[in-house]
Amino acid sequence: MAVQVSLDPNATPPVTVQPPIHSVNQGNHTITWEPAASQDFTFKSLSFANNPSCFGTPSILAGKVTVTDSNQNKGTETDYPYTITVTSNGQDYSSGGVGIDADPGSSIIKNK
């Protein structure tokens, strides 16, 4: 299941994801982010707080972002807040998750 990304320039944060917490079981996985229905933007970046070693280098394409997750957790759940940034009409917009005053609950990969 891909994480659906939406942009509302007038919202805080302007970029939201569905599901806000994406759970990944132990093992190797590829996580994908894609625009939700009727969204018109391009992806710019994906970054994780503290650059955890379980994630590979993100692949950023205009219409999709992917990252590998080598989740080695064995029953211990760990939350990894992230920020995804998109561009629309020459302006960059980001989700919460990383940074000053960011809501760490709005974009998380949960390795379990």
Model pTM above 0.85: yes
User: How many Å apart are CA 88 and CA 40, to the nearest integer?
Assistant: 7
One pLDDT digit (tens) per residue for the chain, 112 residues: 799 999 999 998 899 999 999 999 989 999 999 999 999 999 999 999 888 999 999 999 999 999 999 998 877 889 999 999 999 999 999 997 555 455 555 799 999 8
Into how many domains does the chain fold?
Answer: 1
Q: Which of 49, 43, 51 is nearest to 17 (CA)?
A: 43
β-sheet bridge partners, residue 80: 109
Domain holding 52, by residue range, is 3-111
Query: Two tokens at 73?
Result: 């957790």
Query: Which two tokens mark 74?
Result: 């064995």
CATH number at residue 23: 2.60.40.420
Give the Cα separation of 42 and 57 in Å (integer).
18
